[in-house]
Structure 1
Amino acid sequence: MNNPIDFQSSLTESVGLSTGPMPTSLYTDPTQFELERERIFRRAWLMIGRVERIPKPGDFFVKELALFKASVIVARSEDGNIRAFHNVCAHRANVVEHRSCGNAKRFVCRYHSWAYNNAGELANVPDESGFFNLDKKKCGLTPVTLDVWDGWIFINMAPAPEVSLVEFLGPMADAMANIDYPNPDHPIVMRGEFKANWKAVADNFSEAYHVASIHPRTLAPIYTGKGNPFCRPISANLYGAHRSLSLWLNPTYQPSDKSKVSRWLFAADQTITGTREDGQINAIVEHKGVNPTKNENWSSDINWFFPNWHLQISANLFWTHEFWPTSSNTTVWEARFYKRKPTTVRERLQLEYFTSHMADTMLEDLGNIESTQVGMESGAKPFIVFNESEILCRHGLEQVIKWTAATRVNDALAQSV
């Protein structure tokens, strides 16, 4: 059944957001950035990966957080639990683990060979008798608070988090819980460094208003069409500090007859519902939090978990964006597209075609995002205005303002309704 969409009503007003302009200084002011570092990123729960990334005891990866001048080891210890530690030796504060990932029973500092087990405990000290009253139990790797929700690993950089992960996620956790994610152990990873504020980068991936202009060949034929030339969203929902948007899909899209390679490589399972046979159920499509209005012209959902993580879901795959600020006007972006492992030559070529298509799309975004930052830093425009399709951007800025003004996390969350 097709759900008619009323593109004339205001989603922005219907969810209780303001409609006025927003200050450009939120993207350019170094003082604002310092507030965000301390009152947002140091207090919020930050998603850093999936549990499938470290499936076996001893598996680990290192997350570099330039925002805090910190390096964090995330490891599955011998008891099967996942833990996080500052990547700093207790002896002379050298970096312990220089690999980005791997499997290790021990992390050994190469400076003086102090060794820690994968539960973070100090296990070996060369010439231990030469130290004065050394208490090895107090010299383990410094822990970082970690919790897992639905297979997603979160850390909190506060010495003592003010709220639990479940409290932080609030209604978003209820809406998105227990999704059966396909192929969670096989991501295609893309990474880029932008000369732009982290919010400017996140905004770009939070709306489809720019698709017709910036992506006329790569995305516009899929996400715009008769009746919706500017890819207005189907629906939007706010979940406390977090937010979600459902995007429209052109139901008539097929690769051009002239694009023989594209037509041959176009995956047969890229349908609206994702079903491959009549009567087959697609668990993602059936989930209550995915395409909540169950509109048949739905393409995907953008789920923005405050502050810097996108979880995007379509009928056939899911993918993520992470936006990690490195300064007030530089950002590291990481994307992971979770696709099934190919089993045939055609599927392998389809995967390569998908990857190149997404890379071309990201390159189209890159220069545009950086030129936006240049324009904002010129000071020519003290305010920016948002279209109806940019509802997630507006809500994001409102949350930034609330969190940087709040002295306690509970106050920020109480306002985020």
Structure 2
Amino acid sequence: MSTQPIPEDIEVLAVRLANEEAGRAAVARSAKGRREIVQRLRTEAAAQGLPVKEYIEALTKDPKGVTPPHDTAPTSAFWSYGIDHPDAPTNRWNENFLDNRYIAEAWATLQNDRQAGSARTLETTEGGRRLNAMYLWEAEVLTALGGADKGFTEDWTRECWATISETYATEAKGPVAVFAQYADTRSILYNRELPTLQTNTDVGLDNIHFAYEAPQTWPKEARTEVGTDSARAQLQFNDPTMAHYVDPKTYPDQDPTARRAVLDSEFASVTAERNERAAEKKAEQTAAKTTEAEQTEPAEPTKETKETKEAKETKEAKETEQAEQTAKPMNEAKPMNDAKPQPTVEAKEQGNPKPSASVPLWQLGFTPKPVAVEAGSSGPAAASTAPPAPDLQKQSTGPGLG
């Protein structure tokens, strides 16, 4: 049985979500919209005692904003690129393009309708929603914040999203869903999310699942051997000048034993690189925490201060003891039946996490829509085909890269 394309209910909801977000982005680009964003950010940053730029960067590193709610274990979704769709909003190349973000959000929305708290995307977390609401991909907003002279550039925006994406991947648990056919070397998915997920002990390579099957244009041998979830989570298929490249088209031409040995070598190399990266990241975080603790540690009190404090504490302890002895009867009877301690609210809420949503497996495409035959026409209805696979190059610099 062949894999089915993206379901129609997912398609309809994804297109609606994309157009709604495009409308909000248009408002953000307006003079009034960008003024409101800048004012809001300045107010929020001032409340934290930080400049706006540092405030935003701190948000992207804060795990609290992307940690699942207590007692839930949602399937975390990740995405990259998208697909042409005639009803989707236009991108910067004036093409109707539906980012996989909205397909992932539509899937998560419908999963949560069936089982609350079972699925999520970065953009639906508290931290992701806050960063998204800043509309930092809009040039007008960056200019209003101070522009390149103040460090507000598209490259900086991309780094902000890359950082919060990595933070999100660090906080993921259990199976994750990747809404992409594979990870392009220019994407945040390839450079930040997949390496983090593989070294995340709560996820690991075995829990990374692609929601789309490998491209049907790949030869059968390539789809079978390098189209697996684990292979697509580690290898790259778009840049022959970079490490870990595999050409799906020429893959079947190699000797089966030799190509298997090459794959095993590549997998070992990727794992070693990602483990080394994770160790370096952990060392950096440990050093940063140590520095922060040293900077916030209170000064050593003077001898006089210590003695005064100790004397005060001793006096208060004696006064408390005397008060208790005065108030307590000398022959107070002990209850015959000690009341059992009542469980706290936190204890009541503890239990098995809610079940995660199952990761789907679809073709990257939609069910062709029938084309009506005009009245009076004697010919058959025109053939309808699914939208073509996206051109990855045209998504190399924009927010759709993922």
TM-score when scaled to structure 1? 0.22
Q: Larger Cα Rg: Structure 1 or Structure 2? A: 2
Q: Which has the higher strand share?
A: 1
| Normalised TM-score (structure 2) | 0.22
Structure with greater proportional helix content? 2
